[in-house]
Structure 1
Amino acid sequence: MEQITLQNQYLKLSCINYGAIIKELIVKDKNENEVNVIIGFKKAEDYLNNPYYLGAAVGRFAGRIGNGGFTVEGNHYSIYNENGVHLHGGKNNFSHKYWKIEKVEKGENPYVTFSYLSEDMEEGYPGNLQAFVTYKLEKNKLTIRFEAVADCATIVNLTNHNYYNLNGGGSILQHELQLDADSFLETDEKQIATGKFLDVKGTPFDFISTRNVGDHSDFKGIDDCFVLNKKGHIATLHSKESGIEMKVSTNQPGVVIFTPDQLPEANYYNYYVDEYSSICFETQNFPDAPNKPHFPSAELKKGEKYINESEFEFSVR
């Protein structure tokens, strides 16, 4: 297991080649103190048992797929599932693989590029898929760029699974959130998308206007895909305690927001992991898109390039 550290004047990022995992992201708060704004383990070896996908690159398909599989170009493919649910690419998905370190660039805009070759029929997916992820620091901005190409038609939906806490620990219930999404996906009892779009108004998922994450009286946590109104800047998260603000931008049609009620006990880098310790912004296509013709297509044809690029810009106010 190899660790790469990137640093510029504003940010410091540490990642490992196992799962292409980001294990630390250091930002300075309003008092110039260094804060690790993601939940991560102190020891790199602890990521070998990482059921919550902390910091990981997730694929070949992020989110849930139902029906035991999907059809591409008239061919049906059965994929690994538990009780009819295929999650985050299967049992031995991308977050459990050692990625190759392709390039490390230091300097003013440092970056690292990892690659992973997912072979034909791995976890049931057709085609040899060559995937890349690049983590780049540009001033006060972290860019996460996924790319992929395949040698035959397949499906792909990659994302990063950082758990953010702008105080470096405690709870995110008092973090302010603004999210540019008027609707979210309805799910069934297995949390698989039904295909229906629900209005956020009057629900705990209404962040059109800025409010604290946990302010709604019916808040019981979030694990839902939001339908973004546009591409570009889609969300702003802010902590009054640290003063740190994070703006999220993406070229993807959706974002899965996840606020785990309780992470398992572990040797975390963060000073304290409370209930609702963090919030994920999994920028991606809609879950179960391969089985929902009216969702944005998740199909990647031979010769095409898949690109998922998201930016996380930090400041203090």
Structure 2
Amino acid sequence: MKPPPYQSPLAGARVRAERKSGIGRTAKRVIRQKSWHERIASIPSTVLFELALFPHNVPLPPPDTTARLLGGALHIIHFSVRLSQMRAVPEEELSWEDLYDESRGSRWFDWKTPLTIFLISVSLINTLNFFTRIKLYNLHLRNDPVSSPNAAFISTELDFSPLEPPPLTMRFLTWLSDTFSSSWRFLLNFKPPPPPRSAKTHRVQQLSVWIPGELERKLFTLYSPVHSFLWIATNWSNWILMLSIMAITSAQLHLLTDKYEALVKDKQIIAEEVMHEYDVRFVNPRINPIRKDAAVMTHESEVVNIYE
């Protein structure tokens, strides 16, 4: 019953008929090419479009690789600055037992001072950006307060569009004014001011959720403000101890963040599996019960003929 390795005559005749009639032949597509005048005229719009997408259109490596490159570069720059500062100290002032003052025999302000300030500022800005990225959620159907320090009641319109968090400067000024007002009201025993409301607004609960970035998190573990200040305290007598402290600090932060991310993912998996088991075992059997049609039929052997 195995089919033959050759085609049957009918199959060959069918293929020849299709080729003759043009069935199955790929149609030749005509693609219009742009002329050189159109290409030159479209250059300004192309440049503006690419500038509008910058820096999202830059092919960057993954956040993990980018953070490692930036952290390594910052450590190398800071090491070079510290090496230049330590070499500027006269040799007769060097001591392996006690710390020495590096400012003696050197100018109080040179090219190393703004570079050190720049490195410390980079670590502080990255830390600030890492801990201040938030996303706002309005809990419209939650009347009782949630047990979170990031939740607060606000007056807003009934709008389900995605919320944009205010700038960091506005958030800091709002927090500063609220803290100042609350402190004086508490000292003077005044009641807190009622929230402003209008006819179109209602009081809802707003939750500010922290959404850390992968690049900022990795760079924070590699080059945090602790690392920058440890580099300032590094000299010829304690460089081994300082490098060990930096390595331990980076490993500790990396292990802590990775374990906590794994914990959050495991909790999400457990919650999803609990809901899946609940749907499979309780919800689906009651919503979609298995039913079958039952009918009664007879067989000719059960028919009784009264004439026989």
Structure that is richer in helix per residue: 2
Determine which structure has greater relative contact order: mean sequence separation of CA pairs < 8 Å that are 6+ residues apart, divided by chain length: 2
TM-score exceeds 0.5: no
More strand by percentage: 1
TM range, normalised to the smaller chain?
under 0.3
TM-score by length of 1: 0.22
